[in-house]
Structure formats: C-alpha cells, structure tokens
C-alpha cells in the first residue's frame, strides 16, 4: 500500500505533463450533448431513497507517445469514425470534454482501456508501449479516483512478459485488470502458452476484458458497405474466443478467472444452447480427452458481459441466458455506439429495479472492488 500511496502522490504532482488522446471524439459526443435541453438531468434510478451510481466498463482512449512507437502502423490504429479529431489535447482539456460527456450520459465512472494494437511488435517495442499506456492510465485513475479507473495493457505475444506487466499493474499501479484482444496473432487464449497469464490473473483477482478487433481471417468477405469488419467481425471474434475458453477446458482449469466480454459477448448469448448439443450430435468433432465439468451454457453464468446490445429485447434475452448478476454497463465511449446507456437499462421492462441497479453499477463495483 505504501508503494500505491507514493505513486498517487507522484502522479498528482506530474499529471499536468501527461498527454491524453482526444478520445472524446468531440464531434459526435458534443453534438449529442448539444441536443440535451438546458438544465435537463440525465436519467437516473432511485433505489431505497438513493440514486444508483453508474459504472461504464467499456470506454477507450489512446496516448500519442505509445502511438509514436508504431511507426507507419500508427495510421491503422485509430478507428475510422466520423468526428474523430486529428490532434491530441492536454489532459485537462480532454478530461473536461470526457467528464461533460459522461455527465450527459449519466455515467459516474468509466473504466478506461486501450485496444491492443501492439501484438505484432517485437518484445522491446511492445514492452515500451505497454509501459507508457499503463503509467498514463494509472496516473489518470489516481488523479480522478471517483470518475476513472482503468484496465492495464499487456504484451500478450510474450506471455512471460505479460505476467510481469499484469502483476506490476495490479500491485503497484492500482489498475483493475487487463484489456486483451480476441486472440493473439491467430492464437486462441485456450493455447497452453497463455496459461501462466490466466493463472496470474486468477491469483490477483484481475478482470480480463476481452475486446476484439475484427476477425482477420474473414477480411475479404467483410469488404463492402456496412463496416462489416466491425459490425460482424468484432462480435464474431469474441464469440470464438469465449467458445475456445469453454470447450478447451480453460475455464475449468482456472475457475476463478474473471472474464468480461465486450459487445454483449458477441453472438454467444443469442444462440448459446446450440453449444450444449454439438458434442452429442457430432462426437467425432470433439476431443474425448476434454471432459467439461459443466454444460457449455453453464459457463456463461460465470462470465461477465457488457450491455452494449442496443435494444430492450436483446438485453432481456441476455439476462435470461446469463443472469442479471453477470451483466454490466458498457458504451464503447467515445465511439458513439450507445448514447443512452442508462435509458437502455431503465427502458427494459423485464428487469426489476434491483436488477437495473446491479447492471448500472452494482455488478461492476463488486467485480472491480470499486466503492462509489
């Protein structure tokens, strides 16, 4: 704890020199804020006479210093979203924009993450990118403990290094877990080479936030209208990642692993029962040496899912499949996928107020050990 206190003191002194990506995506988000009526308060839920506080577990940013290490590849890092500014602002300026947007949406706290863009880099470069990201995320969190928390970055292509980075991030920097992709250079997380990372995450109680970056093997078929590399590719990649963790026995090996899946867990929640039939229908396509301890669908009750699935019916179905205790708020902020995250939960009629309170903030507070 003494290391943590000293870290907070140092960051509070040095934060003014930190540069933070202008990830408010000001064009889209400020336009949304402009439509709010003067003095209009964001929607809220009152329970037992108190306002339910909200935690957005799925929000992003980048840091120019780490992007600079990507060279020519940096041009492919930022998402092609309308309204993304071309420049980076100082922390104070970006934080003001970010906090205004959060207030407009009714979000009390965001858990920041950087989508992995360094998995193809050599060890030293990847390590430096991760160092920069984690230091700056920790600084922001320490300086704004009531509004911001963060996931660490990891050099997962070097599992031994990732183990060290994760332990330092959790024990020394106060980060809440780690944001990871949907795979690493085509290798699935069920590969034994990654077991030391999952063992360390389980030991530390660190949350692993799976955020995909499309399904590269299908890039040719994603061409054309509709941004299909994201619209289809991202949910598909998460679905594949989760299914491997289940069917290869990884979640049996690490039963205490805390996994949070972006975008509602992809397509898995929508068609989960098919998984329970696959090895019965076609045992030749299943490994007889892997005997799962539970039905495949039952593992969904130990995975967490964000609520970024847009409609009350989709949220109703996800809750029915995985349980209200496994769903948390997610917006993808600053990308404007979900401008009304609180309304989305409040407008789902199948939920009780206790379930709404859990999804809006209670589940995340418990998962991350956050006191609001």
- Find the largest Cα–Cα distance for the chain: 64
Say how far apart CA 242 and CA 38 lie, in whole Å.
44
Instruction: Tell me the residue ranges of DSSP E strands in 231-312.
Output: 258-261, 304-306
**Please, what sign has the CA dihedral across residues 301, 268, 318, 224?**
positive
* Residue 148 contacts residue 112 (beta carbons within 8 Å): yes
Q: What pLDDT sits at residue 189? A: 97
Q: Which residues contact 164 (CB under 8 A, 6 or more apart)?
A: none
Q: What pLDDT sits at residue 366? A: 98
Say how far apart CA 160 and CA 179 lie, in whole Å.
17
Q: What pLDDT sits at residue 94? A: 79
Q: What pLDDT sits at residue 290? A: 95
Q: What pLDDT sits at residue 93? A: 76
Say how far apart CA 273 and CA 281 lie, in whole Å.
13
Sequence ranges of the domains in the chain: 2-15+45-368
Partners of 349 in the β-ladder: none
pLDDT digits (tens, 9 = 90+) for 62-118: 898 999 999 888 878 877 766 544 334 356 777 888 888 999 999 999 999 999 999
pLDDT digits (tens, 9 = 90+) for 309-348: 999 999 999 999 999 999 999 999 988 899 899 999 999 9
| Structure-token pair, residue 123 | 């060890």
Q: What pLDDT sits at residue 90? A: 56
Q: What pLDDT sits at residue 117? A: 94
The H or E element containing residue 233 is helix 233-247
* Residue 319 contacts residue 355 (beta carbons within 8 Å): yes
Q: What pLDDT sits at residue 73? A: 86
Q: What is the CATH number that goes with domain 2-15+45-368? A: 3.20.20.140
| Structure-token pair, residue 279 | 């090895």
Q: Which residues contact 330 (CB under 8 A, 6 or more apart)?
A: 56, 57, 58, 262, 263, 306, 307, 308, 338, 341
The H or E element containing residue 116 is none
Positions in the chain short of pLDDT 50: 1-35, 84-89
């Amino acid at each position: 704890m003494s290391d943590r206190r000293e870290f907070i003191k140092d960051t509070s002194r040095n934060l003014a020199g930190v540069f933070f990506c202008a990830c408010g995506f000001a064009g889209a988000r400020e336009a949304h804020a402009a439509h709010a009526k003067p003095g209009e308060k964001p929607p809220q839920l009152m329970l037992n006479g108190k306002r339910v506080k909200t935690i957005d577990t799925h929000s992003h940013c980048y840091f120019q210093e780490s992007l600079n290490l990507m060279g020519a590849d940096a041009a492919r890092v930022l998402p092609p979203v309308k309204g993304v500014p071309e420049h980076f602002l100082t922390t104070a300026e970006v934080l003001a924009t970010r906090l205004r947007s959060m207030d407009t949406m009714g979000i009390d706290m965001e858990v920041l993450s950087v989508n992995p863009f360094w998995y193809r880099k050599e060890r030293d470069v990847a390590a430096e990118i991760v160092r920069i990201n984690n230091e700056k995320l920790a600084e922001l969190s320490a300086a704004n403990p009531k509004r911001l928390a963060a996931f660490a970055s990891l050099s997962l292509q070097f599992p031994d290094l990732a183990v060290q980075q994760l332990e330092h991030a959790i024990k020394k920097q106060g980060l809440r877990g780690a944001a990871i992709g949907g795979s690493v250079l085509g290798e699935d997380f069920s590969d034994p080479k990654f077991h030391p990372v999952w063992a360390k995450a389980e030991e530390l109680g660190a949350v692993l936030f799976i955020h995909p970056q499309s399904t590269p093997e299908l890039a040719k078929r994603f061409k054309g209208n509709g941004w299909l590399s994201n619209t289809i590719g991202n949910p598909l990649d998460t679905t594949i990642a989760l299914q491997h963790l289940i069917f290869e026995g990884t979640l049996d090996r690490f039963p205490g692993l805390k996994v949070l899946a972006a975008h509602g867990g992809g397509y898995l929640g929508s068609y989960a029962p098919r998984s329970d039939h696959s090895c019965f229908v076609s045992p030749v396509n299943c490994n007889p040496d892997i005997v799962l301890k539970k039905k495949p669908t039952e593992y969904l009750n130990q995975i967490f899912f964000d609520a970024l699935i847009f409609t009350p019916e989709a949220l109703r179905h996800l809750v029915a499949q995985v349980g209200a205790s496994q769903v948390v708020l997610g917006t993808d902020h600053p990308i404007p996928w979900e401008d009304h995250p609180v309304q989305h939960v409040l407008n789902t009629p199948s939920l009780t107020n206790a379930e709404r309170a859990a999804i809006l903030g209670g589940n995340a507070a418990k998962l991350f050990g956050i006191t609001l």
